[in-house]
Amino acid sequence: MIPVRGVEGQRLAVLGLGRSGLSAARALRAGGAEVLAWDDNETARAAAEAEGFQPVDLTRAGAFEDVAALIVSPGIPHLYPAPNRVIAAAWAAGVPVDNDIGLFFRSFATPDWDRLEATPKVIAVTGSNGKSTTSALIHHVLESAGRPSQLAGNIGRGVLDIDPPGEGAAVVLELSSYQTDLARALTPDIAVFTNLSPDHLDRHGGRGGYFAAKRRLFAEGGPDRAIIGVDEPEGMFLANQLAEGAADDRVIRISSGQKLSGPGWLVFARKGFLSEWRKGRQVASIDLRAIAGLPGAHNHQNACAAYAAARCLGIGPKQIEEALGSFAGLPHRSQLVAEAEGVRFVNDSKATNAASAAMALAAFPEIRWICGGLEKEGGLGPLLPYLGHVAKAYVIGREAAGFALHLKDIPHEVCTTMEAAVARAADEAKPGEVVLLAPAAASFDQYDSFERRGEDFIARVRARIGG
């Protein structure tokens, strides 16, 4: 645990008692604070009580008297589409609002670091797609190279649940826009921006607000190194704002699909090969084509980001190449589930928006596509260039018929349930094709998470073909 520093003897309120909220409450208590805990959900309050926290109704009048700060869980809206009433009450009372990420960054370094020769480093990863894979890949490369590493944030453990790091250690954080938007302290040593596509627009008041939440990690965080995906205008803008000039190697530009040029530090992937360039000269190259855990151009971008982060920490290209080759991938993200009679079954349930689903479609030439669910804003526009890879679509979800209307001339079948979609796709798939779950939609019409949706796909596939 990372005890929160500077709160001894203070009263702090915690709103939302899920994973991050309870973690923050424990860390505040460990730092000597009195914790006022609240969640509208009675079950969550009971879980907090079981750990010795006394729930205090923060919705009542005067709840913020003598409260030093309000710590908010990431799922609770603080501005758009409307402020939570407890947060609005904290504002009215002049009480600072923060989250567990802000507490982490202000508490991470301790006086004990004075005796360390190599102080711990924080690598923070944000962006729309690829955050989890990039974060896990960086962690894997570091561990493979013998560097102590912990994975936390939006993946792995809560940021305040990690062990205090020691000599030369690293902490890899996946940070969502919900987390970067509110944190009052953001001070990573290395920050990574993967890409940007429309997502969570209602929470941020539009695409500009969404990008602004991501940008805070760099503009306010002031990292020593910034690794920026420049395949979208927002990434180009961000890299340009951070760099003092074309040769400024504090900014590392990365890309998948285009060759980058210039005197700066560049890492890009084209036609399956990763290249590193510095000062106008190529210094390393890695063949990514045979790495089973990193299929497709989107995963090659993740590899570029992880490679750049590892290089910033002094790890050599050969060590990184060996580590990339042993990376097994993450569940629900281009996960190879099974192969039977020349047909591969791939679970990309994490493809919850059109942009991430487009990346999955681009990775395979002949696809039986299982799609559908709770539609998000922005439509299916990013998918259009890759629909030629689809032999047939099998649409799931409570509104499957409406989702199917977007597919127009693409052969498709309304299946509604995962069981029916897997059965039909498996029956019709030919050798060399991929049965791909890449929904391009949220799961909440039928499942409580994308993980549950992916697990259902896996179960249906294994029941169908065995294994």
- Which parts are annotated binding residues for ATP? 127-133
Q: Provide the strand spans (E) within 295-400.
A: 335-340, 343-347, 367-371, 390-396
Q: How far apart are CA 436 and CA 335, in angstroms?
A: 10
Q: How far apart are CA 425 and CA 356, in angstroms?
A: 21
Q: Which two tokens stand for residue 12?
A: 């702090």
How many angstroms from the chain centroid is the CA of residue 190? 16
Strand pairing report for 265-270 and 273-278: antiparallel
How crowded is residue 299: how many other Cβ atoms within 10 Å of its Cβ?
A: 26
C-alpha distance from residue 84 to each of 93, 99, 183, 191, 424 (Å): 14, 14, 17, 30, 44
CB 73 within 8 A of CB 18: yes
Q: Which two tokens stand for residue 156?
A: 């792995």
Q: How far apart are CA 451 and CA 457, in angstroms?
A: 10
Q: Tokens 């306010």 belong to which residue?
A: 220
Angle of helix 418-428 relative to helix 450-465, nearest 10 degrees, comes to 50
DSSP per-residue string spanning 191-217: EEE----S-SHHHHTSHHHHHHHHHHH
Q: Which two tokens stand for residue 147?
A: 């560097």
Q: Tokens 């960086």 belong to which residue?
A: 138
Residue 385 DSSP one-character state: G
The three-state (H, E, C) secondary structure of 337-362, written as one string: EEEECCEEEEECCCCCCHHHHHHHHH
Q: Which amino acid is at 164?
A: P
Q: How far apart are CA 44 and CA 20, in angstroms?
A: 12
DSSP per-residue string spanning 13-33: EEE--SHHHHHHHHHHHHTT-
C-alpha distance from residue 20 to each of 74, 149, 235, 236 (Å): 8, 20, 29, 33
Give 414's strand partners: 395
Binding site membership: which residues?
127-133
Q: How far apart are CA 87 and CA 93, in angstroms?
A: 10
